[in-house]
Amino acid sequence: MKYGYFDDRNREYVITQPDTPLPWINYLGCEAYFGIISNTAGGYSFYRDARLRRLTRYRYNNVPMDSGGRYVYLRDDESKEFWSPSWQPTRNELKDYSCRHGMGYTTIGSSYSGIEASTRYFVPLGENLEIWQLTVTNRRATRAKVSAFGSIEFCLWDAQDDATNFQRNFNTGQVEVEPGVIYHKTEYRERRNHFAYFACSELDAGFDTQREAFLGAYRGWDKPAAVEAGQLTNSIAHGWSPIGAHQVKLDLAPGETRQIVFVLGYHENSVDQKFDPPGSQIINKTTVKPVIAKYLVAAQADAAFESLRQYWEKTLSVFQVNTPDVHTNRMVNIWNAYQCMATFNMSRSASFFESGIGRGLGFRDSNQDLLGFVHMVPARARERILDLASTQLRTGGAYHQYQPLTKRGNNDIGGGFNDDPHWLIVGVSAYIKETGDWSILDEPVPFDNEPGSEVPLYEHLRRSFRYTLDRLGPHGLPLIGRADWNDCLNLNCFSDTPGQSFQTTTNKEGKVAESVFIAGLFVFAGRELADIATRRGLAEESSSYLAEVAKMEKVTLEHGWDGEWFLRAYDDFGAKIGSKECEEGKIFIESNGFCVLAGIGLDDGKAASAMANTGKYLATQHGLVVQQPAYSQYYLNLGEISSYPPGYKENAGIFCHVNPWVMIGETRLGHGDLAHDYYSRINPSAREEIGDLHRCEPYVYAQMIAGKDAPTFGEAKNSWLTGTAAWNYYAIVQWILGVRTTLDGLEIAPVIPKSWPGFTATRTFRGVVYKIAIEREGEGNHIALTVDGAPIEGKVVTPPTDGRKEVSVKGILS
């Protein structure tokens, strides 16, 4: 069953039923101020860091689901009935409910007893605030007297502390109120120089800032006492739970429309200008007032919205494609690209499944995410790379995560995930391929953020590579450390204590357990590094990398090969994981996908065998599972992977992040049909019709789909913030459509389904627009290219040297 539809022309997903199986969310903001917003206006906002600078409160895993949000209420002041046009929190039966999730904005509307209302939420570019434009229309034949209320609940900044430290926090809340503006200034009196505000374009017919006054004791947001009574109480919060609520009274003639603008924002004052007058405890509002005044004007809000629209139009225009498959088109052109930007902004911090307090930016995660967003925001990708590299350690190892606000490595989780360093090579290489900006390699970058330790970025890449060579195991394969890509394959953590973190508990020496996956990654990243070295004129260094890569390939084919597929690992006893000899976990997706993606075994049939068996044992109609057979019990020597019930998460779930490795592997074998078939099985748009089973948003990827061993086979979880976004984008664009960035130019090497007559695409690459048209004349993957009418040798289109800004590329597949 479907809960809405795609409006591709407007780049929107339109939800037509409010009670979706789970909250279907969207993101507001693309720079420093962000929010998540659900289809019923649930969600919260923060400045830069979802944990440390949380503006509004949200109750994760609460009942009813999706509690806390940007809530608007309307009240018929004659009948005294009230409702929320976004359905939640009052959940009245609405007419014509719709939620349009678009690029950086969400519009939710409905009509109830002849009153039509719709709110458009967005964050203007360049500002630390969000705008809610509420439009109310009287569709009755008679006049309507209606009160409109806008409301939010403030969080006391540090979301973790806010949810736990009540002995203090019930005492610290403070606000200031001026006509139409509520200022939230908890802790401003001491060490904070920032505050939040919630403003309304109309003069208040009433406000509230103390939650209990607004809701009434023992009531929820579904039935605020003050809304029910029709009059806010002008309460001032002293401690407890500060909120912001405004009331506006409307008297609407039949057919009349009024717009009310609410602005919720974050503002910083310089430390020596915090108070006005100096010496008082009153917020200095000199710099914030003009900002608030500006956006409360509907015309200014409209103009800001138009700029946002253009920003997304431009951002997405970098790559646009037209294939015979609608699901491919809309994911590539709109939603998958958009999701990649969400992972750029959020990493794994804030979603319906990520609480914003758990994880900062992952070293592995954010480097991989680059594959999906570098073409849209190259300058910001550069900055991200330098931030990530600055957390690298002198050993070449890396902090697994860092906090976006402080940009410091996170000590709680530390390092020792032995795949981490290589992702930096992958990320930097993707950046240079996209931009041709070699200067990044000369940027001075510290280790562990220590001033004075700066070396050129290139040196960091060398150390990443070295890191593995310094940590080889008994078979010459890379030691796994705490885990490799699979955070849950914890071979050096024999944990029998409930609650212990599988990621940070290490009680084995770590000198035995090896990862075949890291071997594949080493080969992949090593080749990239060798290519980079060659072009830097370091021929000898480059050859030494290739020699190490060749050695690793050999070792992998010898000790990482199980006869028909690649092994996954060796455990702390030196026993095989992912082998036909195993009782459970005989074959794994990661090592097979990545080794083939890296090109290992392409010449001797091993890659083909690995892919065939991966398909045979792991593929299902809902995607490929991580391993088979699933672990039926907990194994001390394997760690978290076996902690999950069979079919869930890393224990044989369909981990969508790694499916693209197999898609790419299949393209390397020339199997376009199968590659695209795998792509389609997890493509959320192609799963829209099975919304009741899939349950997550049909417009973005979820990290997980329950595997065939799970009772809920086919059910998705953990949507939005996942490496799935970047990898699927990379697989479809660069390997299936085959429009691939290389250090020297744009390679065109499609491996598409046989039934496709071709496709067209537009790609802006290093300042030049490439108009690409591919036509199929035969069933194979051989391509003959002409560039502006002239045939070229090979598949790489080099950037024009004569200043042409548009190039036409024609490819004939045969």
Task: Give the residue from 674, 344, 631 showing the smallest Cα distance to 488.
Answer: 631
Name the residue nearer to ligand GLC (CB basis): 150 or 427.
Answer: 427
In this chain, which of 12, 487, 688, 715 binds ligand GLC, going by CB under 6 A?
Answer: 487
- If binding is defined by CB under 6 A, does position 650 make contact with ligand GLC? yes
User: Which residues from 628-647 bind ligand GLC, rule CB under 6 A?
Assistant: 640
Minimum gap (Å) between residue 490 Cβ and ligand GLC: 9
In this chain, which of 74, 361, 488, 710 binds ligand GLC, going by CB under 6 A?
Answer: 488
Minimum gap (Å) between residue 657 Cβ and ligand GLC: 6
CB-based contacts of 740: which residues, under 8 Å, 6+ apart? 734, 746, 747, 748, 749
Name the residue nearer to ligand GLC (CB basis): 248 or 371.
Answer: 371
Catalytic residue among 204, 487, 531, 571: 487
Distance of alpha carbon 59 from alpha carbon 580, whole angstroms: 46
Task: Give the residue from 349, 346, 344 showing the smallest Cα distance to 367.
Answer: 344
Minimum gap (Å) between residue 358 Cβ and ligand GLC: 8
Name the residue nearer to ligand GLC (CB basis): 235 or 486.
Answer: 486
List residues bridging with 802 in a β-sheet. Answer: none
Per the annotation, the verdict on 487 as an active-site residue is yes
Mask of contacts with ligand GLC, 699-738, x by CB under 6 A? ----x------------------xx---------------
Single out the segment in contact with ligand GLC by CB under 6 A; choices: 448-456, 485-493, 600-608, 785-793. 485-493
Give residue 356's region: left, alpha or beta (phi > 0; psi -120 to 50): left
State residue 628 phi and psi, 5-degree precision: -145, 150
User: Which residues from 495-514 bind ligand GLC, rule CB under 6 A?
Assistant: 503
Single out the segment in contact with ligand GLC by CB under 6 A; choices: 82-90, 94-102, 362-370, 803-811. 362-370
Residue 123 to residues 30, 44, 262, 767, 778, Cα–Cα distance (Å): 8, 13, 12, 28, 49
In this chain, which of 486, 495, 628, 667 binds ligand GLC, going by CB under 6 A?
Answer: 486
User: Which residues from 178-197 bind ligand GLC, rule CB under 6 A?
Assistant: none
Single out the segment in contact with ligand GLC by CB under 6 A; choices: 213-221, 325-333, 358-366, 433-441. 358-366
Minimum gap (Å) between residue 400 Cβ and ligand GLC: 8
Q: In this structure, are residues 39 and 99 in contact, taking their beta carbons and an 8 Å threshold?
A: yes
Count of CA atoms in the C-beta half-sphere (13 A) of 384:
30
CB-based contacts of 575: which residues, under 8 Å, 6+ apart? none
CB-based contacts of 428: which residues, under 8 Å, 6+ apart? 385, 389, 440, 441, 457, 461, 532
In this chain, which of 348, 482, 568, 695 binds ligand GLC, going by CB under 6 A?
Answer: 348
Name the residue nearer to ligand GLC (CB basis): 185 or 649.
Answer: 649
State the DSSP string of 515-548: EHHHHHHHHHHHHHHHHHHHHTT-HHHHHHHHHH
Q: In this structure, are residues 795 and 749 in contact, taking their beta carbons and an 8 Å threshold?
A: yes
- If binding is defined by CB under 6 A, does position 369 make contact with ligand GLC? no
Name the residue nearer to ligand GLC (CB basis): 521 or 552.
Answer: 521
Q: In this structure, are residues 161 and 266 in contact, taking their beta carbons and an 8 Å threshold?
A: no
Minimum gap (Å) between residue 194 Cβ and ligand GLC: 29
Question: Residue 131 is inside which H or E element, if any?
Answer: strand 129-138
Distance of alpha carbon 479 from alpha carbon 470, whole angstroms: 9
Single out the segment in contact with ligand GLC by CB under 6 A; choices: 108-116, 483-491, 663-671, 776-784. 483-491
Count of CA atoms in the C-beta half-sphere (13 A) of 21:
17
- If binding is defined by CB under 6 A, does position 811 make contact with ligand GLC? no
Mask of contacts with ligand GLC, 657-696, x by CB under 6 A? x---------------------------------------
Give catalytic residues, as residue numbers: 487
User: Interface with ligand GLC by CB under 6 A: which residues?
Assistant: 348, 362, 364-365, 485-488, 503, 640, 649-650, 657, 703, 722-723
